[in-house]
């Protein structure tokens, strides 16, 4: 395949026609590529005991024939050719300008930041709708029920004025029961 990861390409056909992005992955056996920010799909993940339900956005593969590399000199879409040096080294060139197309490694951090940004906005929107801050966008984890409701150590630390005794110092005796219980002998009375 003539495309490499990190190449800046233009989508020439389909629903994302005219969009540009860098190639994140190449699926050579299927003749498809994954481009950052192009052909976005939405996946709804069902909640589990360990994780809350969420909506994921990700880039789906697009056919390699639907994209063209951008010429490094002119910035226009171009086909890719090859040129062999005197030493026998094969390099990719742009057919429009004859300029060498250099392979640039895609930044994985940029992709992570983009996905975190989209997930972070979703989390913020959900917390604004509910009116409670039960999910922190930085960690993405849901706080326990007892902390949200104000039970336990979190409440004691927040109030501060109410000091509880330790469990060993509390009175654990059984309260006195009423010694005389009046019961009638008849049914239904």
d(Cα 173, Cα 163) in Å, to the nearest integer?
21
Q: What is the pTM of this model?
A: 0.52
| CATH 3.20.20.70 holds for 8-106 | no
Question: In sequence order, which residues have a C-beta less than 8 Å from that of residue 50 and are 6 or more positions away?
Answer: none
CB 34 within 8 A of CB 101: no
Return the domain boundaries, the chain: 8-106, 107-146
Quote the pLDDT of residue 102.
81
Per-residue pLDDT of the chain (189 residues; tens, 9 = 90+): 788 888 889 999 989 999 999 999 999 999 999 999 898 999 999 999 999 999 999 999 999 999 999 988 888 998 989 999 899 898 888 888 888 888 777 666 555 555 554 555 454 444 444 454 444 445 556 777 767 777 665 455 555 444 555 667 777 677 676 566 666 666 765
């Amino acid at each position: 395949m003539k495309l490499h990861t990190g190449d800046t390409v233009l989508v020439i056909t389909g629903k994302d026609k005219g969009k540009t992005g860098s190639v994140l992955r190449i699926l050579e056996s299927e003749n498809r590529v994954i481009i950052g920010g192009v052909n976005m799909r939405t996946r709804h993940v069902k909640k589990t005991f360990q994780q809350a339900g969420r909506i994921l956005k990700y880039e789906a593969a697009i056919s390699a024939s639907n994209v063209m590399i951008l010429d490094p000199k002119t910035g226009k879409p171009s086909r890719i050719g090859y040129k062999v040096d005197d030493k026998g080294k094969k390099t990719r060139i742009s057919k429009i300008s004859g300029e060498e197309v250099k392979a640039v490694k895609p930044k994985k951090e940029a992709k992570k930041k983009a996905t975190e940004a989209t997930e972070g906005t979703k989390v913020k929107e959900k917390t604004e709708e509910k009116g409670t801050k039960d999910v922190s966008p930085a960690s993405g984890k849901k706080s326990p029920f007892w902390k949200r409701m104000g039970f336990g150590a979190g409440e004691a630390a927040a109030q501060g004025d109410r000091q509880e005794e330790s469990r060993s110092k509390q009175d654990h005796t059984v309260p006195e029961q009423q010694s005389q219980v009046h019961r009638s002998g008849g049914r239904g009375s």
